[in-house]
A and B are shown apart, each in its own frame.
Chain A
Amino acid sequence: MANVLVCIKRVPETSGEILLTDDARDIDARHVGYTLSAHDECAVELAISVAKATDGEATVLSLGSDDSVEQIRDALAVGCTAAVHVEADGSAYGPADVAAAIAEVVRSREAGGTAYDLILVGNDAADTGDFQVGVRLAYALGRPVLTGIATVEVTADGRAIAKGKGPEGTEVFELPLPAVIAVQEGGIEPRYPSIPGRMKAKRTPIETVASPVQPSGNGRVRLELPPAQPSVVEILGTGPEAAGAVVDLLYRLGVVAK
């Protein structure tokens, strides 16, 4: 039986246009909305599949404002069975702060009898892209860690077999549990929530805890939108009649094999 904790983050949608707040300290996502990072979605899916395969439980945890409950419910709707919301103003937190807070919550829950064999996180958040929360969390808990992992299985004798893409092919790792694994998109397809799943998610209690750390910050001075590229798109034509102009361009760029 493997108890899995999956840590997720509410992030702005990246499908629409990005606006900054007036003080340029943050993304203004009021109009585009929020979602889970793609990597986090896969971490949730892996947590559920590992828990099911081992008769364990998949618990979702998110550190952030009250709005994070929306993403917690999404994870409950696809099959997580317990939830912890660590209340905090995430914008004041750096990756080291987030890791320290989660580690402290994990320790206090373990002291209370709820231990996690496997902790999954997304490899890097779609917004801040820090690439380090999983590693810092593992060191804080004194556990082994892997990043960039696409699939995880837990064996009957309590080891995690993890696979991820390496420079020469698929790399296979075997970790003793408990362990921390940072998950990357590509190995599994996240499932969509069912209607009964959504109903159940609404009824599942979410345990709320105050963040146990004082954040030391993330060094952010301000955000900037990259200089807009001069909009000088040259329209080569409309429909199939443009083919000649396209091929002319390909020759000009020297990309047509002689």
Chain B
Amino acid sequence: MSGWVLVLVETDSLEATETSLETLTLARGLAERTGPVELHAVLVGTLDAAVRATVLAQLGDQGVTVVHHAQHDELAAYSAAAWASAVAGAAAASSAGVVLAAGTPRGSEIMAHVATRLDTTMAAQVVSVADVDPLLVSRQVMGGAVLELMELEATPAVITVAGHAVEITPAESPQQSEVREFTPELIESDLVGRVVRVEEAEADDTAALAGARVVVGAGRGAGSANGFGDLLELTDLLAGALGVSRVVTSLGWRPHHEQVGQTGSRITPDIYIACGISGAIQHWAGCSSAKTILAINTDEDAPMVTKAHYAVIGDLHEVVPAINEELRRRTG
């Protein structure tokens, strides 16, 4: 492996996203193991002055020496191809040996474009770097139930980093990042797939679910669309969010945006209270990053129970109302 390590950093309305900081931490480890290699970042699009200052401070803390900041009038609306053009431009400018982004929907989409444009290999959902020469990464397959050791021969290598696989740590020697503004060369075809409008999200608590400290989970054991009353009450009592298994959304009991799993949200709460959920791999892929898991299930051999930290053996329709009552009693 040769050349600098470059990270696409995503931002929200306030700062660099958590998954981008995780990606920077993994990338810094990769750069340090490779030798005298600098860590660069690329930002795409104009940022509010206060956000820009916050992001640059975050990147400095992560040890980023150079920030390539792409600005262009045509970057006001998101288009994966235009973003990829900007990232590929920064990769060329920084002679990148490895280009990384968080494995978010956008990060994954942009990196697929970048890898195709640079005619190179992409490893998705990487959790760790096993070796740097040759570059060997461990990545999630089967929704995280299996890890694949993958060799990346081509340069630059393109990597997306799985969410919550890496703990964010600051660099030992923080940097005052040098900012290099640049204007990517965009062509008409880069803008064809741009967002033409954003519709107001309906009552959709996806973001709340992904960020909730407490998630109450419900599976087939809820029994029917009418079986969620006690679970919703527990959710309210703990100021948490409701998350459901794929069975529940497939049966039409609850909307898809509440789904936790490989094809739903990935959650990272302090506690996940999984009620009447067997714990299929599809579901485990979305909830395994919970700090503590409490399973409530009639079947003590269900995977959700055997993988949990705590369990109550019983019918959720009896156990959950009792928990609600006890909570109401103690919180008065």
Interface, chain A (partner B; CB < 8 A): 12, 14-15, 18, 20, 27, 38-39, 94-96, 124, 126-132, 134-136, 139, 144-148, 163, 165-176, 184-186, 189, 218-226, 229, 231-247, 249-251, 253-258
Q: Please tell me if the beta carbons of A126 and B213 are within 8 angstroms of each other in the complex.
A: no
20 pairs from A and B in contact (CB 8 Å cutoff): A14-B281, A15-B280, A18-B142, A38-B246, A124-B124, A129-B143, A131-B109, A131-B122, A131-B125, A165-B206, A168-B198, A185-B256, A185-B264, A186-B259, A223-B147, A232-B309, A238-B312, A240-B321, A247-B323, A256-B330
Q: Please tell me if the beta carbons of A170 and B105 are within 8 angstroms of each other in the complex.
A: no
The prevalent SS among residues of B at the interface is mixed
Mark out the residues of chain B between 222 and 268 whose CB falls within 8 Å of any chain A CB in the assembled complex. 238-240, 246, 250, 252, 256-257, 259, 262-264
Q: Please tell me if the beta carbons of A234 and B309 are within 8 angstroms of each other in the complex.
A: yes
Please tell me which stretch of B27-35, B47-55, B149-157, B166-174 contacts chain A, meaning at least 4 of its Cβ atoms lie within 8 angstroms of it: B149-157
Residues of chain A with a CB closer than 8 A to B318's CB: 239-240
**Residue from the list B109, B111, B282, B322 in contact with A148, Cβ < 8 A:** B109
Mark out the residues of chain B between 271 and 293 whose CB falls within 8 Å of any chain A CB in the assembled complex. 271, 280-282, 292
Q: Please tell me if the beta carbons of B310 and A234 are within 8 angstroms of each other in the complex.
A: yes
- For B202, the closest partner residue in chain A by CB is A170
Q: Please tell me if the beta carbons of B200 and A233 are within 8 angstroms of each other in the complex.
A: no
Residue among B142, B197, B270, B308 facing the most chain A CB atoms (10 A cut-off): B142
Contact (A14, B123) CB under 8 Å given A27-B142, A233-B311? no
Q: Please tell me if the beta carbons of A171 and B142 are within 8 angstroms of each other in the complex.
A: no
Residues of chain B with a CB closer than 8 A to A96's CB: 121
Q: Please tell me if the beta carbons of A18 and B149 are within 8 angstroms of each other in the complex.
A: no
Residues of chain A with a CB closer than 8 A to B106's CB: 167
Q: How far is the CB of B79 from chain A (nearest CB, A)?
A: 9
Q: Please tell me if the beta carbons of B192 and A176 are within 8 angstroms of each other in the complex.
A: yes
**Residue from the list B113, B124, B250 in contact with A129, Cβ < 8 A:** B124
Residues of chain A with a CB closer than 8 A to B136's CB: 221
Residues of chain A with a CB closer than 8 A to B109's CB: 131, 135, 147-148
Q: Please tell me if the beta carbons of A136 and B142 are within 8 angstroms of each other in the complex.
A: no
Q: Please tell me if the beta carbons of B149 and A222 are within 8 angstroms of each other in the complex.
A: yes
Q: Given contacts A170-B199, A171-B198, A173-B193, could you give 20 more A-B pairs where the C-beta distance is less than 8 Å?
A: A12-B142, A94-B121, A124-B108, A124-B124, A130-B124, A132-B124, A145-B80, A147-B109, A148-B109, A169-B199, A219-B121, A219-B151, A219-B152, A225-B147, A238-B313, A239-B318, A240-B321, A245-B312, A246-B319, A256-B330
Q: Please tell me if the beta carbons of A132 and B112 are within 8 angstroms of each other in the complex.
A: yes
Q: Please tell me if the beta carbons of B262 and A173 are within 8 angstroms of each other in the complex.
A: no
Q: How far is the CA of A212 from the CA of B222 in the complex (A)?
A: 50
**Residue from the list B195, B213, B294, B307 in contact with A171, Cβ < 8 A:** B195
Q: How far is the CA of A175 from the CA of B123 in the complex (A)?
A: 28
Q: Please tell me if the beta carbons of B150 and A220 are within 8 angstroms of each other in the complex.
A: yes
Q: Please tell me if the beta carbons of A172 and B326 are within 8 angstroms of each other in the complex.
A: no
Q: Please tell me if the beta carbons of A18 and B246 are within 8 angstroms of each other in the complex.
A: no
Residues of chain A with a CB closer than 8 A to B322's CB: 240-243
Residues of chain B with a CB closer than 8 A to A224's CB: 138, 146-149
Residues of chain B with a CB closer than 8 A to A144's CB: 81, 189, 192-193
- CB contacts between A and B, total, < 8 Å: 251
> Is B115 an interface residue when CB atoms closer than 8 A count as contact?
yes
Q: How far is the CA of A231 from the CA of B139 in the complex (A)?
A: 24
Interface, chain B (partner A; CB < 8 A): 12, 78, 80-81, 103, 105-106, 108-109, 111-113, 115-117, 121-125, 136, 138-153, 160, 189, 192-201, 206, 213-214, 238-240, 246, 250, 252, 256-257, 259, 262-264, 270-271, 280-282, 292, 294-295, 300, 305-315, 318-319, 321-323, 325-327, 330-331
Contact (A253, B271) CB under 8 Å given A15-B281, A235-B313, A243-B322? yes
**Residue from the list B153, B192, B200, B201 in contact with A175, Cβ < 8 A:** B192
Q: How far is the CB of A3 from chain B (nearest CB, A)?
A: 20
Q: How far is the CA of A235 from the CA of B196 in the complex (A)?
A: 53
Q: Please tell me if the beta carbons of B116 and A174 are within 8 angstroms of each other in the complex.
A: no
Residue among A124, A135, A167 facing the most chain B CB atoms (10 A cut-off): A135
Contact (A131, B314) CB under 8 Å given A14-B145, A224-B146, A250-B238? no
Q: How far is the CB of A57 from chain B (nearest CB, A)?
A: 25
Residues of chain A with a CB closer than 8 A to B80's CB: 135, 145-147
**Residue from the list A18, A95, A134 in contact with B281, Cβ < 8 A:** A18
- For A14, the closest partner residue in chain B by CB is B281
Q: Please tell me if the beta carbons of B256 and A186 are within 8 angstroms of each other in the complex.
A: yes
Q: Please tell me if the beta carbons of A239 and B314 are within 8 angstroms of each other in the complex.
A: yes
Q: Please tell me if the beta carbons of A169 and B198 are within 8 angstroms of each other in the complex.
A: yes
Residues of chain B with a CB closer than 8 A to A128's CB: 141, 148
Residues of chain A with a CB closer than 8 A to B306's CB: 231, 233
Q: Please tell me if the beta carbons of A246 and B142 are within 8 angstroms of each other in the complex.
A: no
Residues of chain A with a CB closer than 8 A to B103's CB: 131
Q: Please tell me if the beta carbons of A243 and B323 are within 8 angstroms of each other in the complex.
A: yes
Q: How far is the CB of B288 from chain A (nearest CB, A)?
A: 9
Q: How far is the CA of A108 from the CA of B167 in the complex (A)?
A: 48
- For A241, the closest partner residue in chain B by CB is B322
Contact (A219, B150) CB under 8 Å given A132-B122, A173-B196? yes
Q: How far is the CA of A243 from the CA of B234 in the complex (A)?
A: 12
Residues of chain A with a CB closer than 8 A to B195's CB: 166, 171-173
- For B79, the closest partner residue in chain A by CB is A173
Q: How far is the CA of A170 from the CA of B195 in the complex (A)?
A: 10
Residues of chain A with a CB closer than 8 A to B327's CB: 247, 250, 256
Residues of chain B with a CB closer than 8 A to A95's CB: 122
